[in-house]
Amino acid sequence: MSLFTIRARRPNGETSRTPDQERFERGTRTVADLIAPSAIEITRDHLRLEYQYARTLAITGYPRSVRPGWLSPLIDFDAPIEIAMHLRPLDSSQMVKSLTHKMALLHSSRMLAAKGGRVADPEREIAYQDAERLREALQRGDERVFSVAIYVLVRAGSLAALDELTRRIESAVDGMLAQSRVTFLEQDSGFRSCLPFGEDRLLVQRNLDTSSLATTFPFSSTSLAMPEGVLYGIAKHNSSPVIFNPFDTSLENANTVIFAKSGAGKSYFVKLMALRNLLNGVEFWIIDPEDEYRRVCDAVDGQYIRIASTSGQHLNPFDLAPVDVADDEGRDALAEQVAALLSLLELMLAENGGRLSTHERAVLDRAIYKTYAEAGITADPATHTRPVPLMRDLAATLAGSPGDVATGLHTRLSRYVSGSLAGLFGGQTNVQLDRKLVVFNIQSLEEELQGIGTHLIATFVWNQVRRSKRPRQLVTDEAWKLMKYPAGGEFLAELSRRARKYYLGLLTVTQDVSDFLQSAHGRTVLTNAAAKLLMKQDSTTIEPVVDAFRLSPEERQFLLGSAKGEGLFFARGGHLALKVEASPLEHRLATTAPQELADERRAA
């Protein structure tokens, strides 16, 4: 049952109510009843609204010169505050008369000082010039004069928190070369002046011309926006778009690290970023461990490569880097590839995810060089166009090498060349990266091979990158599967350091944040990332993130309670909270929510 009020109107339009109707209205609830506090306590320097404390500060002094957006330190303040601006235009003809009178006073003071032989007061000279300039602008109609008042209302849950927030506001105002004061004994008037009634009860005003007033435009922001960038999300503090270009010249590199728990939307974000950056000519190579990127790949006519023991598509780890690149950089392409092979073989052959011994590495190093030599390939670049050997050729070399170490290595390698895992290294490379988006699906690889497969793909891509320099992004989703091996972490760390030289951005995505940050190689990858995105975290793993990124308690709480697609984005030495936004078409391509996919199948 709903409550309503019946009102009778007099002929002149005024409302007439009977005593019963007035009693009836007193028994109904109004909006004021719902939002008004039960009590307000007014003290000399703050208000108490039930369980909340509030304080009003007035801006009393303004800088001598300002630039557009000079209020940004307050507008983009990292805590909730309310800014009230009261503007009233003044009559220009009256202002011209007032300025003329002011100039006459200043001129008289100047003449008296000159007659007395005193040095001219620079402040008086500046005031005279400003008044003269403003009077001429008013007479031409170029400017108008406004009476302006700016107040800041802060709220907190305790008096100590209110004092701390007040100190931070005062420091921010001081940094703007302005002055502020707490409205002592006027907190009630200050609070009412900040409510959306348009009433200025404090009257702490300053006269500004049109140009100066325009610089206080309150909707400017220091939010991130780069030329030729794409939409990464919407800044939560002021709803401005975050436009980012990973290859912008202001960044140290194009590397990005994304930390998030499962289901927080990290792969969703990567898909949107890939779709949008493809329009800017950036190529994407994605290592996909969960078959999440197939729909995006099909939509943009990308290349889908399935890496598995039973797949007909192969990547040969013995492939050499381009000969011309090795010549240009003065490097030995064969030595580089041997080092990459040693890193891969350490993943494959080291026991319990550890490292190979120095003796084992030495035996492998000799065997790899001998395997290449038997294929007719030496350090001479002219021999690098010959067919390269396969993993089974290395196994044969180890089988023919003397010593127990070579025998043990051959035994461990045999399962990759003649056992159930032989298909992964069973043939020459038959994959060509000829599309703007390439997805390497490693879902069908056995769990123990996924780290090896990631290393194999990354090495192959690294060799391809050095053939020609153009903007590319290599996405290693679930990078922890590679980082958990010392050799894998070392490889990824080295790749993060060298990628920028070849116009490559390494995008590392992981949910195992704790292990990633505790690893020396993981910290190297993080250090060499110009952009970082922290999305929803779990309470059991949040502390290493807080320590690594020096997050405030508010930011810590934000990451624990953030919704899907929300996070903290770090770039250019700062960070902001953003929310990832997608168009309906992008959402259909990027979502992996089972219910949405099931509804789509039923609709089809």
Contact between 440 and 307 (Cβ < 8 Å) = yes
Q: Name residues whose C-beta falls within 8 Å of residue 38's C-beta, 6 or more positions apart in sequence.
A: 50
Q: Distance of CA 396 to CAs 59, 256, 399, Å? A: 81, 41, 5
Q: Distance of CA 358 to CAs 306, 399, 455, Å? A: 35, 19, 21
What pLDDT is stored for residue 533 in this prediction? 92
DSSP state of 143: -
Tell how strand 437-441 and strand 531-535 pair up.
Answer: unpaired
Contact between 507 and 230 (Cβ < 8 Å) = no
Q: Per-residue pLDDT averaged across 276-303, rounded?
A: 90
Between residues 365 and 39, the one the model is more confident about: 365
What pLDDT is stored for residue 331 in this prediction? 67
Q: What is the pLDDT of residues 384-412, one digit of tens each?
A: 888 889 888 998 999 888 888 889 888 88
What pLDDT is stored for residue 76 in this prediction? 73
Which helix H or strand E contains 21, and what residues bound it?
A: helix 19-26
Contact between 483 and 524 (Cβ < 8 Å) = no
**pLDDT(421) > 90:** no
Q: Distance of CA 124 to CAs 66, 99, 108, 119, Å? A: 20, 14, 11, 11
Give the distance from CA 33 to its chain's centroid.
42
Instruction: Give burial (CB, 10 Å; 0-12/13-18/19+) of 509.
Output: buried
Between residues 124 and 545, the one the model is more confident about: 545
Give the position of tokens 């620079």.
122
Q: Per-residue pLDDT averaged across 33-56, rounded?
A: 86
Give the distance from CA 179 to its chain's centroid.
33
What pLDDT is stored for residue 16 in this prediction? 67
Highest mean pLDDT among 11-25, 251-265, 466-480, 588-602: 251-265
Amino acid letter, 282: V
Tokens of 429: 């490379």
Highest mean pLDDT among 109-118, 120-129, 523-532: 523-532
% of the chain surpassing 70 pLDDT: 94
Q: What is the pLDDT of residues 81-121, one digit of tens each?
A: 888 999 888 887 787 777 787 778 777 777 777 777 777 77
Tokens of 335: 């030595």
Task: Catalogue the long-range contacts made by 99-103 (C-beta closer than 8 Å, 24 or more residues apart).
Answer: 99/131, 99/134, 99/135, 99/138, 100/135, 102/131, 103/128, 103/131, 103/132, 103/135
Residue 142 — φ and ψ, nearest 5°? -75, -25
- Go through the domains of the chain in sequence order and give each one's CATH number: 50-90+144-214 (3.30.70), 252-303+436-604 (3.40.50.300), 316-428 (1.10.8.730)
Tokens of 102: 């002011």
563-590 b/e (C-beta count within 10 Å ≥ 16 → b): eebbbbbbbeeebbbbbbebeeebeebb
Measured distance CA(283)–CA(109) in Å, rounded: 71
What pLDDT is stored for residue 326 in this prediction? 42
3-class SS of residue 542: helix
Q: What is the pLDDT of residues 455-473, one digit of tens each?
A: 888 888 888 887 778 899 9
Highest mean pLDDT among 82-91, 140-149, 511-520: 82-91
Contact between 257 and 526 (Cβ < 8 Å) = yes
Amino acid letter, 569: F
What pLDDT is stored for residue 191 in this prediction? 92
Contact between 510 and 256 (Cβ < 8 Å) = no
Please count the other Cβ atoms lying within 10 Å of the Cβ belonging to residue 436: 18
User: % helix / strand / coil in the chain, to the nearest 5?
Assistant: 45, 20, 35
Measured distance CA(376)–CA(374) in Å, rounded: 5
Residue 197 — φ and ψ, nearest 5°? -105, -10
Measured distance CA(604)–CA(34) in Å, rounded: 47
For the whole model, what pTM was predicted? 0.64
Beta strand ranges found along 105-183 (DSSP E): 145-156, 179-182
Q: Per-residue pLDDT averaged across 196-216, rounded?
A: 84
Tokens of 92: 């220009």
Q: Name residues whose C-beta falls within 8 Å of residue 390's C-beta, 6 or more positions apart in sequence.
A: 316, 318, 425, 426, 427, 428
Q: In 3D, which of 459, 467, 471 has the Cα closest to residue 329?
A: 467
What pLDDT is stored for residue 10 in this prediction? 45
What pLDDT is stored for residue 176 in this prediction? 84
What pLDDT is stored for residue 327 in this prediction? 44
Which helix H or strand E contains 504, and what residues bound it?
A: strand 504-510
Q: What is the pLDDT of residues 245-286, one digit of tens each?
A: 999 988 999 999 999 888 888 889 999 999 999 988 899 999
What pLDDT is stored for residue 2 in this prediction? 38
Contact between 152 and 80 (Cβ < 8 Å) = no
What pLDDT is stored for residue 323 in this prediction? 58
What pLDDT is stored for residue 222 in this prediction? 57
Q: What is the pLDDT of residues 217-246, one digit of tens each?
A: 765 555 677 888 899 988 887 677 889 999
What pLDDT is stored for residue 22 in this prediction? 80
Measured distance CA(296)–CA(341) in Å, rounded: 32
What pLDDT is stored for residue 214 in this prediction? 80
Measured distance CA(237)–CA(145) in Å, rounded: 32
Amino acid letter, 207: N
What pLDDT is stored for residue 468 in this prediction? 77
Q: Look over the chain and give the mean of its residue pLDDT values, rounded to a whole number.
A: 83
Q: In 3D, which of 112, 141, 472 has the Cα closest to residue 277?
A: 472
% of the chain surpassing 90 pLDDT: 19
Measured distance CA(249)–CA(229) in Å, rounded: 12
Residue 549 — φ and ψ, nearest 5°? -105, 0
What pLDDT is stored for residue 58 in this prediction? 92
Please count the other Cβ atoms lying within 10 Å of the Cβ belonging to residue 428: 13
Q: Per-residue pLDDT averaged across 31-37, rounded?
A: 76
Give the position of tokens 């490559």.
504
**pLDDT(329) > 70:** no
